[in-house]
């Protein structure tokens, strides 16, 4: 199989597997236990917390381990918004129309809870407007959530610029606004430093950077107002109750450390492969067009629309040829509808329904890319013929 859906998930990194192994066997203790294997488990969690903090320029006490990116996003947005409203700071939230569904659906839930939510649009490249964001700020604003890099088209958002704007706004009006970013697609592809970004909260998902599924990270800057969502014991510094997933936490730390260490070489090589794939498809496949920014973007993400087809037909054809790609966000593949990201970008609906996302990984080879370039034209032609037969 030629795997080109790393934005959805990737294989478990060997270092992560090795780090997890002891806690899947004899070192099975509960970190809350006072006996030896409990203390050993707690030590593993503490070490992992320090490792993750070091990878993103944070303090260990600012790292909360979760069950994945979705929980991290939900916890940040709900926990901060609730805490700020409870303190009497306001009930207005700003987010973007191109967030992952984990972010959009939590924004909709906040509306059900009585919050007002403003959704910022984007331009044709998938980049949001800082001016539009600034215009949305108001005295009742307590939280803004802006993803760092889009999972469908790869466009990188001006999060650091927005953070500076938020701080200036807060300073001038003596009114605090907290900023969260969904950084799920970023580890291993973009530099991640909490202070440089200037955010108060940041969400990551372990399996996106070579760690295990079911494990994630929430960064909460020190003194950030927060109300925990999962209640029970006092785990995770009173921010997330429940017995810690020691194996998952250990694997997450090992995978993130590896992803951060090799970022420069990895991004340069994979960017070249992505550009070769893009240029090869555009040169050989009539009706193909790129969606999203190709400059300020993730180096491994390529979203292409194929005129006159439905993407599911092309993805199925590629699958029969041993090539794995995606017809959009992996979390929405159970429902057939145009990508909300492409719609927000103003992509015509007939182009949007024919979009395919190719996302490369560290293991992607030049030979694989060349094979995909050879296969795409014929499969696109067959998918177009199938679509015409249904009309």
Which positions are annotated as active-site residues? 331
Give 249's strand partners. Answer: none
**Angle at CA 314, nearest 5°, toward 321 and 69?**
95
Handedness of CA 263, 265, 270, 272 (dihedral sign): positive
Q: Where are the alpha helices (DSSP H) in 239-364?
A: 246-261, 263-284, 311-320, 340-344, 349-352
| Both structure tokens of 209 | 């950077």
Tokens of 372: 């995909």
Q: What's CA 61's distance to the chain center, in Å?
A: 23
Burial of 389: CB neighbours in 10 Å, binned 0-12, 13-18, 19+: exposed
Residue 25 burial class via C-beta count within 10 angstroms: exposed 0-12, middle 13-18, buried 19 and up: exposed
């Amino acid at each position: 199989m030629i795997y080109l859906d790393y934005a959805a998930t990737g294989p478990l990194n060997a270092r992560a597997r090795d780090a997890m192994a002891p806690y899947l066997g004899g070192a099975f203790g509960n970190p809350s236990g006072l006996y030896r294997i409990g203390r050993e488990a707690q030590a593993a969690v503490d070490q992992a917390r320090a490792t993750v903090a070091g990878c993103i320029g944070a303090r260990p006490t600012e790292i909360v381990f979760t069950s994945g990116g979705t929980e991290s996003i939900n916890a940040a947005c709900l926990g901060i918004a609730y805490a700020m409203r409870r303190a009497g700071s306001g009930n207005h939230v700003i987010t973007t129309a191109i967030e992952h569904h984990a972010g959009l659906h939590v924004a909709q839930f906040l509306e059900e809870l009585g919050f007002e939510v403003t959704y910022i649009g984007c331009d044709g490249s998938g980049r949001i407007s800082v001016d539009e964001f600034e215009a949305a700020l108001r005295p009742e604003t307590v939280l803004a959530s802006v993803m760092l890099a889009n999972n469908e088209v790869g466009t990188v958002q001006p999060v650091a610029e927005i953070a500076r704007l938020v701080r200036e706004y807060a300073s001038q009006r003596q009114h605090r606004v907290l900023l969260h970013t969904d950084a799920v697609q970023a580890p291993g592809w973009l530099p991640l430093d909490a202070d440089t970004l200037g955010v108060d909260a940041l969400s990551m998902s372990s399996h996106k950077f070579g760690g295990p599924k079911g494990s994630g990270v929430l960064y909460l800057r020190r003194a950030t107002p927060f109300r925990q969502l999962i209640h029970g014991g006092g785990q995770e510094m009173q921010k997330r109750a429940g017995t810690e997933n020691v194996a998952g936490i250990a694997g997450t730390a090992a995978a993130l450390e590896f992803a951060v260490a090799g970022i420069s070489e990895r991004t340069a090589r994979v960017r070249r492969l992505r550009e070769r794939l893009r240029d090869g498809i555009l040169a050989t496949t009539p009706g193909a067009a790129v969606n999203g920014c190709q400059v300020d973007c993730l180096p491994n993400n390529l979203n292409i629309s194929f005129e006159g087809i439905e993407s599911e037909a092309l993805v199925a054809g590629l699958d029969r040829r041993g090539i794995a790609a995606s017809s959009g966000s992996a979390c929405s593949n159970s429902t057939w509808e145009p990508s909300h990201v492409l719609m927000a970008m103003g992509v015509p609906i007939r182009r949007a329904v024919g979009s395919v996302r190719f996302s490369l990984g560290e293991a992607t080879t030049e030979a694989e890319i060349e094979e995909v370039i050879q296969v795409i034209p014929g499969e696109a032609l067959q998918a177009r013929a199938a679509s015409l037969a249904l009309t």
